[in-house]
Amino acid sequence: MSTSRATMIEFDNVHKYYGDYHALRGISARINGGEFFSLLGPSGCGKTTLLRTIAGFEDISSGAVMIDGRHMENVPANKRPTNMVFQSYAIFPHLSVAENVGFGLRRDPRSRAEKARAVEEALEMVGLKGYGARAAHALSGGQRQRVALARALILKPKVLLLDEPLSALDRKIREQMQVELIKLQREVGITFVLVTHDQEEALVMSDRIAVMFEGEIAQLADPETLYRRPNSRRVAEFIGVMNFLPCQVTGEAGGHIQLEVAGLGQVEIEPAQAPGVTRGGPASVGMRPETLTILYEGQQAGGREAPGVVEEVVYYGDMTYYDVRLDGLDHSVRISMRNVFGRPVLDIGTRTRVAWSPGALVLFR
């Protein structure tokens, strides 16, 4: 978690054009010192471009980028307090691991012995203690990415920029590296800015996330807020699974918003559950699969419940996903249930009751 709260990076209305193509469309945001910050969005939305404006690899067309209180206009990449780790670990295969890690220290005035110690320390940080003499080409993908990390960290940047650093790794190693990166970031306290198009990776790793679409930040928030209170249908669809039910906004009373929702009936929600919805009329409500619960015989809802029929069952071992068509709805909703020892998985066609809670709904236009 972050130790220092002062602003480390500030974007002030940043625009970037490639010819006529408007790649960044008025980005304004602050990244705190010591924060693990992610840029998340689909391919082509401008994540790498924004990251490169921090590094100084990309000139901006208008606006300003500040790092640690300093304007970066006219500050070349090699004079910025940043370092970048790329997706394709650009290490030198013909050099040893230690030579790769120490590469950036070529012009450092410290003695050979001191530099060797710094290399050892950096290797230890990334879990490669004792690998210094190994030829870099004789490493696995995960190990090469660690070398690239060590090479960036040894220069002690204030900001480490990571452009999809884990995307070339297979799932198991990627998940292991995610945990190691979080630990490492906490240890060194450096500001990390990670680019990823993997929403799960962003949720797992980040203090805060900026979700980008088409050169704009659609929402900037901590993982839980993004997941529970997405501010638009598009953000909701991009992060995790969301069920949408058509509804009508019928009125407002006592600070609550009143809805008539297909399959659920009349519902009252809080204004905080309706970001950006100000008027009555047609809208839709979103519900995450884990906020819905299948009720077994004799079980009470404790809140509201709706009847329906199981249309699809996907068994994952620890979890089962059910698609249930609620009465009065022309499509099914997805429900995730943790499997419990001794409780049967329901068959397709089973009539069931579904518990749901008004507090878990989010309203979208």
Ligand X SMILES: Nc1ncnc2c1ncn2[C@@H]1O[C@H](COP(=O)(O)OP(=O)(O)OP(=O)(O)O)[C@@H](O)[C@H]1O
Residues that bind ligand X (CB under 6 A): 18, 21, 23, 41, 43-49, 197
In the complex, the smallest distance separating the C-beta of residue 46 from Mg ion, rounded to whole angstroms, is 8
Cβ-in-10-Å burial (0-12, 13-18, 19+) of 325 comes to middle
Is 219 near Mg ion (CB under 5 A)? no
CA dist., res. 30 & res. 180, Å (int): 25
Is 178 near Mg ion (CB under 5 A)? no
Beta sheet of 70-71, edge-to-edge order: 21-32, 7-18, 62-67, 70-71
| Residue number with CB closer to ligand X (59 or 170) | 59
Is 82 near Mg ion (CB under 5 A)? no
* 70-71 vs 62-67, strand pairing mode: antiparallel
CA dist., res. 81 & res. 67, Å (int): 8
| Residue number with CB closer to ligand X (174 or 288) | 174
| Residue number with CB closer to ligand X (21 or 341) | 21
In the complex, the smallest distance separating the C-beta of residue 44 from ligand X, rounded to whole angstroms, is 4
Q: Is 130 helix (H, G, I), strand (E, B) or coil?
A: coil
| Residue number with CB closer to ligand X (88 or 266) | 88
**Cβ-contact 53, 103 below 8 angstroms:** no
- Give the pair of three-digit tokens for residue 185: 């970031």
Considering only the stretches 42-50, 67-75, 89-97, 317-325, report the one whose residues sit in contact with Mg ion under the rule CB under 5 A.
Answer: 42-50
In the complex, the smallest distance separating the C-beta of residue 343 from ligand X, rounded to whole angstroms, is 41
Considering only the stretches 41-49, 153-161, 172-180, 184-192, report the one whose residues sit in contact with Mg ion under the rule CB under 5 A.
Answer: 41-49
Of 125, 229, 138, the residue nearest 184 (C-alpha) = 125
Rounded (to 5) percent helix, strand, coil in the chain: 25, 35, 35
In the complex, the smallest distance separating the C-beta of residue 197 from Mg ion, rounded to whole angstroms, is 8
Q: Return the residue nearest Mg ion (CB atom).
A: 48
In the complex, the smallest distance separating the C-beta of residue 49 from ligand X, rounded to whole angstroms, is 3
In the complex, the smallest distance separating the C-beta of residue 39 from Mg ion, rounded to whole angstroms, is 9
Q: How far is CA 154 from CA 2, 89, 201, in A?
A: 21, 16, 25
Is 48 near Mg ion (CB under 5 A)? yes
The number of C-alpha atoms within 13 Å of 21 and in the hemisphere containing its C-beta is 8
Side chain identity at 113, as an amino acid letter? Answer: A
3-state SS of 259-282 is: EEECCCEEEEECHHHCCCCCCCEE
| Residue number with CB closer to ligand X (87 or 258) | 87
Instruction: Give me the 234-273 binding string for Mg ion, x by CB under 5 A, dash otherwise.
Output: ----------------------------------------
| Residue number with CB closer to Mg ion (87 or 350) | 87
Size of the site for Mg ion (CB under 5 A): 1
| Residue number with CB closer to ligand X (53 or 291) | 53
Is 53 near Mg ion (CB under 5 A)? no
Contacts with Mg ion by CB under 5 A lie at 48
